[in-house]
Structure 1
């Protein structure tokens, strides 16, 4: 099959879970003999020229307008306009915003598959008008797509109940991760097993502000034997110059290290040597951060939301969303209880064995594409 993927910034992934899902899915679909076109936005993925990404999918760059509210819409519009001139068997639209234009390929007789990665229409960073637009995109995707998938079982159930149509649960795969040695940590002022790690964009729904509040409380009583380095909180994630981002930086003490976005080996090093990974986010689809942390055998501290329970089961410490006191207590527990950290980390690693591989996910999506084509004929 010839499959076109629309709605992400592009590959190789630099920001966002959806981009990493598209990268892995496209690569494994190519390994299964399919031709995959991934539409990309200039300025997000390094090289800006059309061409094959290694031996994997074909990257195509189309024009778009700059701006928080225009970029995704105009990039999707130009991508869909381009693919209407191409011979493709399936159009795979990712996320509710881009799905606003899913009627275009559907009207042209191209089978559309729509994947919901997270409830984007609830994100705090969007204005009421933008959230309304995202709900409109969700409605279009649910009405125009031949098949709909979601990465979370609870999200799939919610969409089925709201739109009265089947939504297939296709979880993200367990990542393949290898522990790496210490190279960059000293330059960042971090000591192995003496820092907690938060990975994610600095946006309101990730609740970094709550984490910083809890961290200040927890570190007051953090254990420290003579000769040991102080505990630190490492924050790896992109941020823009927003009021929320500035407030988080202002609230952080000298024991909080802002590292900016980290990828590849640098991110592997952070995961490999963190005492625990903390995810207080109140809005997730299926968190790739938690999956990656579990693959490294890290102790996990996460907000008690259905999407996180689906990933981790009992293999994590949970706190109620937006409960700063409970989060502070759990952070202190992570720092004090080395044996519990090791036990939970191993439990998380075993939990991943229950998840599919990316090869399994690609095979499942192949069947979804075939069903969408059959339905359109």
Structure 2
């Protein structure tokens, strides 16, 4: 058995977040590919159990400080010590450049170390000078000390190669998947009925309620467009009650619905029955939301940022970042099918979690050898 420890995750399966979604999909598939992998996720915030198993993956909860901005940082350090003393893994997989700050420490403890770079988190407005500096340093340290750095998009790898011209051979691209199981959900309208929604009569946005997702701009564009026939539904939650979440809640109305978080079949049904997916985000490492929408054969409108360009969407699917007036014009058209791309949907459907897991297994195996 080859032991692997995963660090940088709040919890699996029910915690909200892109990294949590990735871990929920990825590691059970790695386990299915070969039971030789003994995978333990060292989580910091999950259900009440101290330890449990999810689809063959061991989850161990390591208590974390609840200090804002320091929780993940301190938890990574403590988890690495716990791994060394009690689990003795061959390989440690750190998710994010915050945990990546400790890639030097993981190497010092004798672990083969992978860091997955999910996004340039230091660009998020919530971080002050100290937080941004630590995250930037985490990015540099990851590039120096990790045995491998996985970039979740080609644009992220290009950025790293331009910014840090050393040790480029360590960096690999494994694009995230995002293909929910859309089989047999077309006729399952229960979740829509609970929200009083009609199929193909709502514009959908999905994501964490974070300022970089720019949902406030989408709501402003929706109100400016004065659309009568479609509601705006925002699916996702936030961490705590931030000033931004309170700001968004004030924008709620009969036609602007904050639906909360959904998973699995319910989320698939919400995607499948939307008229249009809009992602106005100012920054992404790789956008799971767009991947899922394309897998559901939805028309999509997205902000013009490099990670969104990787999906192969035609020009009419883009609007300039922060351009509320342009977005309002685009969602005012009579037929959203002009934003549907057969080619982009077919391309995304080939990028499954199964293929993603196979690439990780290949990388893990090469490192162990």
TM-score (norm 2): 0.91
The more displaced of 115-124 and 174-183 is: 174-183
CA distance in 2 between partners of 1:278 and 1:345 (Å): 14
Q: CA deviation at 1:140?
A: 2.0
CA distance in 2 between partners of 1:248 and 1:160 (Å): 37
CA distance in 1 between partners of 2:347 and 2:277 (Å): 16
* Correspondence for 1:332: 332
Q: CA deviation at 1:63?
A: 1.6
CA distance in 2 between partners of 1:106 and 1:17 (Å): 26
* Correspondence for 1:307: 307
The more displaced of 82-91 and 171-180 is: 171-180
Do the aligned partners of residues 174 and 206 (structure 1) sit closer, same or farther apart at CA in structure 2, a change above 3 Å counting? closer
Q: CA deviation at 1:246?
A: 2.0
* Correspondence for 2:198: 191
CA distance in 2 between partners of 1:31 and 1:354 (Å): 20
User: What is the SS of the residue equivalent to 1:93?
Assistant: strand
The answer to whether structure 1 residue 173 and structure 2 residue 164 are counterparts is no
**Aligned counterparts, 1:1-377, within 5 A:** 1-33=2-34, 34-42=37-45, 44=46, 46-54=47-55, 56-85=56-85, 86-163=87-164, 164-166=166-168, 167-178=171-182, 179-180=185-186, 181-219=188-226, 222=227, 230-239=229-238, 240-314=240-314, 317-333=317-333, 336-340=334-338, 344=340, 346-355=342-351, 357-374=352-369
Assess if the C-alpha contact under 8 Å between 2:144 and 2:167 holds in 1. no
CA distance in 1 between partners of 2:349 and 2:210 (Å): 31
Assess if the C-alpha contact under 8 Å between 1:197 and 1:276 holds in 2. yes
CA distance in 2 between partners of 1:316 and 1:53 (Å): 42
RMSD: 1.9
CA distance in 1 between partners of 2:52 and 2:242 (Å): 35
CA distance in 1 between partners of 2:94 and 2:132 (Å): 19
CA distance in 2 between partners of 1:315 and 1:58 (Å): 44
Give unmatched runs, 5+ long, in structure 2: none
CA distance in 1 between partners of 2:309 and 2:95 (Å): 24
User: What is the SS of the residue equivalent to 1:332?
Assistant: coil
User: How many residues were matched structurally?
Assistant: 358
Assess if the C-alpha contact under 8 Å between 1:295 and 1:348 holds in 2. no
Do the aligned partners of residues 151 and 134 (structure 1) sit closer, same or farther apart at CA in structure 2, a change above 3 Å counting? same
CA distance in 2 between partners of 1:13 and 1:306 (Å): 30
Assess if the C-alpha contact under 8 Å between 1:297 and 1:348 holds in 2. no
TM-score (norm 1): 0.89
CA distance in 2 between partners of 1:250 and 1:268 (Å): 28
Q: CA deviation at 1:67?
A: 2.7
* Correspondence for 1:227: none
Assess if the C-alpha contact under 8 Å between 2:9 and 2:19 holds in 1. yes
Assess if the C-alpha contact under 8 Å between 1:112 and 1:145 holds in 2. yes
